[in-house]
Each structure stands twice: as structure tokens, then as C-alpha cells.
Amino acid sequence: MANDASTVFDLVILGGGSGGYAAALRGAQLGLDVALIEKGKVGGTCLHNGCIPTKALLHAGEIADQARESAQFGVKATFEGIDMEAVNKYKDEVISGLYKGLQGLIASRKVHYIEGEGKLSSPTSVDVNGQRVQGRHVLLATGSVPKSLPGLEIDGNRIISSDHALKMDRVPKSAIVLGGGVIGVEFASAWKSFGTEITIVEGLKHLVPVEDENSSKLLERAFRKRGIKFNLGTFFDKAEYTEDGVRVTLADGKTFEAELLLVAIGRGPVSQGLGYEEQGVTMDRGYVLVDEYMQTNVPTISAVGDLVPTLQLAHVGFAEGILVAERLAGLKTVPIDYDGVPKVTYCHPEVASVGITEAKAKEIYGADKVVALKYNLAGNGKSKILKTAGEIKLVQVKDGAVVGVHMVGDRMGEQVGEAQLIYNWEALPSEVAQLIHAHPTQNEAMGEAHLALAGKPLHAHD
């Protein structure tokens, strides 16, 4: 292995996804000499196989639904079907534009970019393309890939992952979605809008099971109304090919048949064969373990993003990467409060939240110390105009701060910005209630909910 001893970087980053490139950009901005190593395309899963392409599909589905339902708004439109070639062209144009912009940023910040498959070769070096890249610190940011179950082979034909689903050239007539978490319900929602008959199989009791139970129930009600079927509370047993599709059998013997099976049970870390354990990095089930400052047990090595067992969200990766860069540059850093991270599931209707659930709040503070309030979007003018249904639920410590905001409804993801300020600044309902929210907006529902919680409801019943 040739050792390029002429340069020792301040920071060598293995992986150019959300966490890796955020650390590279912030590190370079702070004067660090940074090398960024990526085997695929900078931007990683989020840009190329996750957040951005799935949201483009969901928006195309939203347009399809609006065309079908236009008559209720007095608009005469005809829906003639989905042109997947054109949908994919639109999706790819969005990705391409963002990718070019990101490449420009990397270049303008003078980050030393190396395309190739890297491997950790010591606590201060990464081997790539026959070269040893030396650094005073190494950041591991190799991300994640779709997971499967023992005995369930994802073949890319009738049994597919989200990666395959994003590249489909047709709309499946029917599909079984294995997994009712974020990935599963987003694809179920988009495909239903495209015209696919959907059945979701989720082993736990509810869809989006990490959300507040009220949000899960509201989403289930909305999915029933849309004709999206789901089976909850029974785990998967096996999948097998039929003459023209696939059959899924559950642990209780119940079976479902469809053209395709989408395996959407989450994502697992990319860490095998990359030299992590050989260099003494502590691991658990493939994840790299870190402290609150993203540092591993090896002082010269940090890790961020989907590789570590924190929330698998692009914006979490950004924040973790920035934290590492600022720590290495000598700035004072504050650990991330993961409860304070906004979460959005971009199905129709959207599910958004920040803070803790009502159940978690009762566990922490005691049932008698927790107050919960639900504000129905039926009382919100803009939501009426949009013909969306849902709720904003607030969870408060009695006579104290709001510790959870949980929302279901179209465009609720756009309201989570104020919600995260309320949680992270430990706002009292009375403090939010005195702020004036524009009318008519959906954002106004946030103000109305806090008015009600503060004991002075306006467009809500006492």
C-alpha cells in the first residue's frame, strides 16, 4: 500500500452521505484540511436512494390524487394515468440538480475529494485506490442499506427493496409492503396514489409504531379511507413465488398475494469488512458505538449518521457531522437532544412530531403530572380549504413546558419547525398562546392548540 506521507489531513472522512459531507463542509469552513472518501456519489442514501427521490414520487402521487379529486373544488380535470418514464425523469432531474450543487459546494470549500472504496487501516488512516490517506482524525460515515429477514431473499424481481422500488419503470397492479414504519407507509402512500392495490404487513400493533399512539390511529383511519389495507400485530413467516406474483404467509397462517413484495423493515449499518473491528472500534450488531460527542472508544476515530445507533434521519446526520467538525476545530459543542429532533413521515396524510409521546411523558413524569390536548384540524380554516383532516396533539408537563407536539394532516411537515422551537426552548403554553399566528394558515392551528392548552381557546370548544 503506497503511503502518501506528503499530506496528513486534519480530518479524513470515510463516506460522503449526509453526515460525512456535512462534516467535510463545516470542517473546511473552520479551516481544517479535509479529505472526503466516497465509493458512490456524494450525497449518499438521502439524495440518491432515500429522502429526495421518495418525496418526488410522493409529490407526483399528490398531483395524481388532485387530478382525480379536482371536481370537489369545482375544477374539471381528467386523470389519464401515470407515465412512469416521465415521473422518473422528473425525480432524476431533482436529484441531478441537487447533486451538481453539492459537488460545487465540495469543490468551493477546497475539500480533497477521493472517489473509491475506502477501508480503515489504522486509527489515523484509510486505504483507498492503492493509497494510504493519513489524518489526525478519522470520521466513519459509511451509512446504511435496506435490511431483510432471515430466509427472505431480496431478489430485485418480485421481492424488492426501496432501492429497487425507486427505479421501477411501471406501476405495479398490487403490492404487499412488509413493514409499517416510515419507509413502508411512504411507499404504500405513493403507490396507492399511482393506482396500486396495497396491503401493509406490520408485526407491531400500529403503523408508524415509534410515533404517539394517537398519531398512529389517525393515520390508520386515513389509510382505511384511502383503501390502503393493513394487517397489524402478526409477524411475517415466509414469502414464496406464485405463478404470477408472490405470496406472503404470516405467523398465524394468514396469507396475502400480490404482484410484488416490498421489504421495508428498516435499514442496517454498512460496517462489515471495512476494518472497524480490526482497529479496535467497539461495535454492537454492526453499529459503531459512540459517546454523546460522536467519539468512539478509539480517541482518533468518530462516527456519525446511520452507522451509529441514533435516529436514522438525514438531518440527524447533518447535525452529527457538524458537531464532530466543530469539536475537532476546538469550538465548544453541545450534545444533540434526540428527542428535540423533528420527525416527518411524508405519506398522505403526513405525520410529524417533535419531543416525547404521551406514554413516554407519563413514564418519566408520572401519569398525574402530564396533560394532553388534541386540536382537531376541522377548526382550522386553511385545512378546511385543503380538505384535509387530522389533529395537533400537545403533551405538557402539568403547569410546565410542552414536551411533545404530534401532528397528522396534509402539510403538517411544514409545521414542525415551530414545534421544534416550542420543545427545544421549553416553551410554556401561555408563551406560545401570546404569539400571533397568521390567518388563514395551517400554522394557525399550532397557535390555536396552545391557546386551548393555556385555558383560553378561540376556535375550539372548552
Query: Which are the catalytic amino acids?
Result: 439
- Say if CB 201 and CB 118 are below 8 A apart: no
Please tell me the distance from the alpha carbon of residue 326 to that of residue 330, in angstroms, as a whole number.
Answer: 6
Distances (CA, A) of 372 to 30, 32, 450: 44, 47, 11
Distances (CA, A) of 208 to 129, 181, 213: 42, 5, 9
Please tell me the distance from the alpha carbon of residue 260 to that of residue 253, in angstroms, as a whole number.
Answer: 19
Task: Indicate the angle between helix axes 443-453 and 416-424, nearest 10 degrees.
Answer: 40
Q: What is the largest CA-CA distance in the chain?
A: 74
Other CB atoms within a 10 A radius of the CB of residue 360 amount to: 16
Establish how many alpha carbons lie within 13 A of residue 193's alpha carbon, considering only the half-sphere containing its beta carbon: 24
Establish how many alpha carbons lie within 13 A of residue 412's alpha carbon, considering only the half-sphere containing its beta carbon: 32
Pairing verdict, β 131-135 and 2-9: parallel
Q: Is the peptide bond before 123 cis (omega within 30 degrees of 0)?
A: no
What are the b/e assignments for 192-206, b being 16+ CB within 10 Å?
bbbebbbbbbbbbeb
Pairing verdict, β 138-140 and 11-14: parallel
63: its cell numbers: 398531483
